[in-house]
Structure 1
Amino acid sequence: MARAVNAETLSLVKQWEGFRPNAYPDPGSRDGTPWTIGYGQTRIKGRAVRKGDTIAEAEAASLLVTRLAETAAQVERLVKVDLSDNQFGALVAFADNIGMGGSKKVGFSNSTLLKKLNAGNYDAVPGELAKWKYNDGKVMQGLVNRRAAEAGLWAKGAFVSTSTVEAKPGNPIKEMTTPENIGAAGGLLGGAAAVASGNGPVQYAIAALMVIAAITIAFLVIRKATR
């Protein structure tokens, strides 16, 4: 069974594509092609989108889900290393935007990003994503922002590296955000804020000590999570 994309991925693509009920020309191309509609759809009803086409949001959302499922199947086939759900989703969102590529066109399938990732270099992915910011030879701020969002999704619960631990499956940082850890550090910071609301050097000194304690707890949690 093909791997499905998670809700975070669908939300990211919807946010950056934006829903457009009326067909519009590609702002980055010289002649406006391909015309686009809905959530970045360039084809509807078995043909290319044309000027004057319209679409309802429900239909556009359905087409997007189908499109992402098709892209996800290709990404799953091409990537040879383990990925978290968010990492997989980030690559699907990225590939959906730039295309899969082929013998005459550069895309996800023949990208340096894919080569480095399949070699086990997880840490190279955010930097490789950031390189894909050009449209017709020009830097587009919208693409810069989208690549940053994809990198953010990639890093959310990702396999991380430290000075002594390589990035790899089984080394996620999600343990850092358990309720117990958040409660411990957050409680101290909240208490520090309450103490600091008083006046006088004694209150300030106590608040400072509580902040230091919270930072220490956070450090120990991170150290434990990355072992």
Structure 2
Amino acid sequence: MQINQEGLDLIKQFEGCKLEAYICPAGIPTIGYGHTQSATMGQVISEVEADALLRKDLKDAEDAVRTLVTVPIDENQFSTLVSFVFNVGAGAFEQSTLLAMLNAYASAETVAAQFMRWNKADGRELPGLTRRRHAEQALFLGKDWRVYLF
């Protein structure tokens, strides 16, 4: 299984795309949809190149979901989890209650509620992360996630 178009669209909406390299808040050169591995200051890429870098960057998140999830999930749930891992990292996902509940066969609604535990940075809620987590909840449950874009 790999990320579907809905999951890809969700990530693109919340990550945003910058075709010219910039320094992210962590002080790292970044380009496209949050790509850092080969970004250099002064670099400019096309939208097609940004999409290719995103697909490449998502491979690690896809691999983490395939490895860590031990129960059957549908395409939207897989894609949601890839978005989540891409944002929080595989290590955080591996240690999460969300994953533990999922692998213990909790209901989809119970698992989806866990996304909201991940809307903070440095202990304070971030509105953008809250919207992203609501969107991820919706996609995980097979609902329209786009209502959380604004």
Relative contact order higher in (CA < 8 Å, ≥ 6 apart)? 2
* 5+ long unaligned stretches in structure 1: 102-106, 158-227
For 1:53 and 1:147, locate their aligned partners in 2 and report how far apart those are by CA, in whole Å: 31
For 2:41 and 2:120, locate their aligned partners in 1 and report how far apart those are by CA, in whole Å: 25
Displacement of 1:50 after TM fit?
Answer: 4.2
What is the root-mean-square deviation of aligned Cα atoms in Å? 1.7
Alignment match, 1:93 = 83
For 1:124 and 1:75, locate their aligned partners in 2 and report how far apart those are by CA, in whole Å: 18
Q: Give the secondary-structure state (helix, strand or coil) at the position aligned to 1:43.
A: coil
1:105-116 equivalences under 5 Å are: 107-116=92-101
The letter of the residue matching 1:139 is E
For 1:156 and 1:144, locate their aligned partners in 2 and report how far apart those are by CA, in whole Å: 18
Q: Do the aligned partners of 1:21 and 1:37 also contact (CA within 8 Å) in 2?
A: yes
Alignment match, 1:165 = none
Find the partner of 1:35 among 12, 15, 29.
29
Find the partner of 2:110 among 111, 117, 124.
124
Structure 2 length-normalised TM: 0.86
For 1:35 and 1:120, locate their aligned partners in 2 and report how far apart those are by CA, in whole Å: 40
Whichever of the two has the greater Rg, that structure is 1
* 5+ long unaligned stretches in structure 2: 144-150
Find the partner of 1:149 among 132, 135, 138.
135
Structure 1 length-normalised TM: 0.58
Q: Does the C-alpha gap of structure 1 residues 138 and 26 become closer, same or farther in structure 2, counting only changes over 3 Å?
A: farther
Which piece of structure 1 moves more, 121-130 or 77-86?
Answer: 121-130
2:9 maps to 1:5: no
The letter of the residue matching 1:36 is T
For 1:55 and 1:127, locate their aligned partners in 2 and report how far apart those are by CA, in whole Å: 38
For 1:21 and 1:120, locate their aligned partners in 2 and report how far apart those are by CA, in whole Å: 41
For 1:35 and 1:143, locate their aligned partners in 2 and report how far apart those are by CA, in whole Å: 22
The letter of the residue matching 1:99 is G
Q: Do the aligned partners of 1:5 and 1:69 also contact (CA within 8 Å) in 2?
A: no
Alignment match, 2:147 = none
For 1:99 and 1:74, locate their aligned partners in 2 and report how far apart those are by CA, in whole Å: 9
Q: Does the C-alpha gap of structure 1 residues 133 and 6 become closer, same or farther in structure 2, counting only changes over 3 Å?
A: same
Q: Deviations over 1:158-189 (max 9, x none)?
A: xxxxxxxxxxxxxxxxxxxxxxxxxxxxxxxx
Alignment match, 1:183 = none
Q: Does the C-alpha gap of structure 1 residues 89 and 110 become closer, same or farther in structure 2, counting only changes over 3 Å?
A: same
Displacement of 1:120 after TM fit?
Answer: 0.7
2:39 maps to 1:54: no
Displacement of 1:134 after TM fit?
Answer: 1.4
Q: Give the secondary-structure state (helix, strand or coil) at the position aligned to 1:33.
A: coil
